[in-house]
Structure 1
Amino acid sequence: MVEPAASLTEQLAAHLCRLVPFAMRQRARLHLLDWLGCAAGARMSDTAALQRRAGGSAIERATWLGNVLEMDDIHRTGIVHPGPVIWPAALRAGARMDACLEAGVRGYEAMVAVAATLDAHHYAFWHPTATAGSFGAAAAAASLLALDAAATADALGLAGSVTGGLWQMRHAPGDGKQWHLAHARATGMAAAHHARHGARGPRQILEGPQGLYAAACRAPRPMILGKGWRIEEVSFKPWGACRHAHPTIDAALALKDQGKLSGEIIVGAYRDALTFCDRADPQSVVQAKFSLQHAVAIVMARGVPQLADFEPEAIAALAPERALVRVVEEPALTAAYPEHFGARVTSTTGSVLITDTFGDPERPMADADIVAKARTLMAWGGIDAAGVEAGIAAVLEADDTAPLFDWLEAWL
């Protein structure tokens, strides 16, 4: 009798059960620190105030804060932000730090592996950080619970059966994007918990006739399960704007360095950058973070973008510069996307083309830059210097999670 071929979730579960090497755990510490900085930087936000009213643990509150400032890490091909979902699922009070780091690496692997199979049709309607996030959270929680491959496959199937998150939340002010993170984390963790106790999940939740691909994709891409770990493919974000705006910022900075960023400016970008970030007259902080025109205006008038440059005072002040910026689709950049996020910024005296932006694996941020980013974000959130250094040490130096959880309780 011929054994049936292993489903995609079964293949992924077996893949996740590999040993996580020391180098990947060290890489994971940087991503954990990056998430912590993003969450801490948002501790004075309206979302943080909402969470203080809602109650819950510090880690539950932190889950809502990881993407508020739009500085969370990103995988380009999957167009997915792993950190804000994975780290709240991978951290457990009383656990050894190595166990949490391994859970994080496995969570990134699952989330990126699933996200990278989702197609453009899916991205047009669905928020991949939510869709793939439930799978990633399930994988991280399964790792912490030391589930075997069979139980991990069940957890993935259970989580995937109720995953989702629609982009409609972008069309009105609200907290839908943050709710997506909390839902993905909670769903994945609950799936792993129940799989541990024998709950079975649909093994073909991805490729089955009524699975995720059939329901929400037209041309899903093959799942790639390589020898390495895909956390190495994840980019860090240096600036507090939508990642689709980063190539434009990068190109504008290069043109400014040449002394040629003046007068009327044309931004050539890929189609999704225009879909999400063609916004000539932003009216809020969120809209400014999703505006190519505002991104260029900041660089023209002020140089390297700072978080304050997306606040209401700056939005009003930079209106004259935004009026000089026109955005157009550049077909070659659309063709190279999402493997490469690129932009071309052109003035009357010069032009700069960026094909991979700062923070991508091809142009990585140095470890020191990532630590400096965390310091800046924590300070933006109102944390004093001693608290900042304690948070960094809790991530980069501690062997257990107690200092990190103490820090979260104190500051969030």
Structure 2
Amino acid sequence: MYDSMSERLAEYIQQVQYVALPKSVEQATKVAFLDWLGNAIVGSQMPPAQMTHRVLAAQGGAPQATVIGWRRSDVPLTVLGAHRPRSTALWATLANGTSSHIIELDDVHKASIIHAGTVVIPAALALAEWLGASGEELIEAIVAGYDVCIRIGEAVTPSHYQYFHTTGTAGTFGAAAAAAKLLKLSLEQTMHALGTAGTQAAALWEFIETGAMSKHLHSGKAGFNGVLAALLAKEGFTGAPKIIEGKRGFMNAMANSYDAAKVLDQLGTRYALLENCYKIHSSCRHTHHAIDLVIQLTTEHDLRPEEIERIEIGTYRVALDITDNLNPKSVYDGKFSIQYCAALAAVKRRAGLAEFTEENLNDPVVRSVLDRVHAFEDPACQANYPEKWGARVTIVAANGKRFEATTDYPKGDYENPVSADELIGKFTSLVQGYLDEPTTKAFVQRSMTLETLSNVSNFFAE
């Protein structure tokens, strides 16, 4: 019998061993790492990341871990070799976590609604670099981190998600778990790390009202806070032992309703990484079902924009709470508008990073279709959420014909998966224009053989 959830989770974190992991979990970890890396490399060159880099550069710090994409304006992007930019493990976690949550192509876990990779992987990578950990140890830390934050996220979803961005809140626990694993903390120290992580859990959805950059910081700061919590615990700093279930703890304070049993259910036998979902479209995951269906219908019936009289999208309530926006005013706004994403998909039949541009945002053809998109709550989709992120799309043509399609699982869900080869292709396509071909191939090879690294600090070596 355990005195707290943190104690049981701490025991699990200590028990995770590479040699005992199923091969499917090892493979899933490496795929998740590569997918995260592509997001971090491209995101690092976007304005929010560059702003973060400038702030961190002014703070100085020991060269412990690589800051992906940090560069002066007169120096080409450097991510390999002795001259790659480095900072403290804390600053690197913050910078790389922020970068990887910008282009909206990062992984997501449906039941918890967490982009776990953007928090757990930068924390684990930075510490592994600093400590000279092996690739096997890095895999262990990532597995533990995903399991911890996703379980806590599942327990409070969907109530918590109404106000709190779960990636920045529950994600903090995952970063602390990964850091505790790499620091080889004792059971008691790991409990304290989780306690200190939980008291720092923060991330509010208010950013959605204006498309503010705060969302990008949520993942970076969650990773930073988790690493900080573990480093403090190593020094004897104490945290609340019942931070998860206590009367003033995470679940009671930050969710109107929750299912505490989900935190420990099948712990050690069910691996959250096997339920990971990957993005094909460069927008909020809650828009992907509509994009898939619009592309399917316009392609199957060869519908041109001028032939579309109306697009009707029925989906679950949370999708509308986050993405119901008939008049996006920026490219980032567009990524969180289900109506715009559907219109873009109808016109371009794609919704990748290259399609989300100012030109397309202001394209009169896209805007014309946007005016003809109607989104509403569908009872069947609502009843199946959050296990299924479904949608029903009907396109009414100008000649009166109706074309309809439904899905419970957008492309990239683990029930409708993309293959490892497809995700390698996604990575290669994403970094094209940022990295040369040899560097791209090196990153693919190293990511997909992560377990063979004797020292993770060599991952970014020439």
Q: Please give the TM-score of this superposition, normalised by the length of structure 2.
A: 0.83
Shift of 1:303: 1.2
- Matched residue, 2:98: 64
Task: Please state if 1:344 is matched with 2:392.
Answer: yes
Give distance in 1, aligned partners of 2:404 and 2:212: 38
- Matched residue, 1:136: 174
- Matched residue, 2:447: 395
- Matched residue, 2:208: 170
Matches within 5 A, 1:257-406: 257-259=299-301, 262-317=308-363, 318-348=366-396, 349-379=402-432, 382-398=434-450, 399=453, 400-406=455-461
Shift of 1:133: 1.1
Distance 1:292 1:260, change over 3 A: farther
- Matched residue, 2:265: 225
- Matched residue, 1:74: 108
* Correspondence for 1:243 among 285, 288, 292: 285
Task: Please state if 1:234 is matched with 2:276.
Answer: yes
Give distance in 1, aligned partners of 2:225 and 2:179: 10
Give distance in 1, aligned partners of 2:194 and 2:273: 19
* Correspondence for 2:251 among 213, 227, 232: 213
- Matched residue, 2:30: 29
Equivalent position amino acid for 2:276 in 1: V
Note the residue ranges of structure 2 that are not aligned, 5 or more in a row.
Answer: 58-65, 68-91, 397-401
Question: What secondary structure is seen at the aligned counterpart in 2 of 1:268?
Answer: strand
Shift of 1:137: 0.4
- Matched residue, 1:410: none
Larger mean CA deviation between 44-53 and 285-294 belongs to 44-53
Asked whether the 8 Å contact 1:394–1:403 carries over to 2, the reply is no
Give distance in 1, aligned partners of 2:394 and 2:118: 35
- Matched residue, 2:136: 98
Give distance in 1, aligned partners of 2:240 and 2:150: 20
Give distance in 2, aligned partners of 1:379 and 1:224: 42
Write the deviation string for residues 162-207 of structure 1: whole angstroms up to 9, x where unpaired.
2111112222343311222222111111111122232332111111
- Matched residue, 2:81: none
Note the residue ranges of structure 1 that are not aligned, 5 or more in a row.
Answer: 408-412
Give distance in 2, aligned partners of 1:202 and 1:174: 32
Give distance in 1, aligned partners of 2:44 and 2:219: 16
* Runs ≥4 residues deviating over 3 A: none
Equivalent position amino acid for 1:359 in 2: G
Task: Please state if 1:53 is matched with 2:101.
Answer: no
Larger mean CA deviation between 54-63 and 5-14 belongs to 54-63
Larger mean CA deviation between 308-317 and 12-21 belongs to 12-21
Give distance in 2, aligned partners of 1:372 and 1:45: 22
Equivalent position amino acid for 2:430 in 1: L
- Matched residue, 2:72: none
Larger mean CA deviation between 88-97 and 75-84 belongs to 88-97
Give the percent of matched residue pairs that are identical in Structure 1 and Structure 2: 31
Larger mean CA deviation between 339-348 and 190-199 belongs to 190-199
Give distance in 2, aligned partners of 1:44 and 1:137: 24
- Matched residue, 1:197: 235
Write the deviation string for residues 37-85 of structure 1: whole angstroms up to 9, x where unpaired.
0011223210132133123550342221111011111010111110010
Question: What secondary structure is seen at the aligned counterpart in 1 of 2:362?
Answer: helix
Shift of 1:260: 6.5
State the aligned residue count. 403
Asked whether the 8 Å contact 1:394–1:401 carries over to 2, the reply is no
- Matched residue, 2:9: 12
Give distance in 2, aligned partners of 1:238 and 1:225: 31
Shift of 1:379: 1.6
Give distance in 1, aligned partners of 2:302 and 2:391: 16
Equivalent position amino acid for 1:123 in 2: Y
Asked whether the 8 Å contact 2:176–2:193 carries over to 1, the reply is yes
- Matched residue, 2:61: none
Question: What secondary structure is seen at the aligned counterpart in 2 of 1:393?
Answer: helix
Asked whether the 8 Å contact 1:72–1:81 carries over to 2, the reply is yes
Shift of 1:22: 5.2
Write the deviation string for residues 277-296 of structure 1: whole angstroms up to 9, x where unpaired.
11122111111111111221
Shift of 1:331: 1.6
Equivalent position amino acid for 1:225 in 2: D
Give distance in 1, aligned partners of 2:272 and 2:14: 14
Give distance in 2, aligned partners of 1:248 and 1:238: 13
- Matched residue, 1:156: 194
Give distance in 2, aligned partners of 1:127 and 1:85: 13
Write the deviation string for residues 288-328 of structure 1: whole angstroms up to 9, x where unpaired.
11111122122211212221211110111111121221111
Larger mean CA deviation between 82-91 and 256-265 belongs to 256-265
Larger mean CA deviation between 154-163 and 14-23 belongs to 14-23
Q: Please give the TM-score of this superposition, normalised by the length of structure 1.
A: 0.93
Question: What secondary structure is seen at the aligned counterpart in 2 of 1:328?
Answer: strand
Task: Please state if 1:87 is matched with 2:127.
Answer: no
Asked whether the 8 Å contact 1:15–1:225 carries over to 2, the reply is no
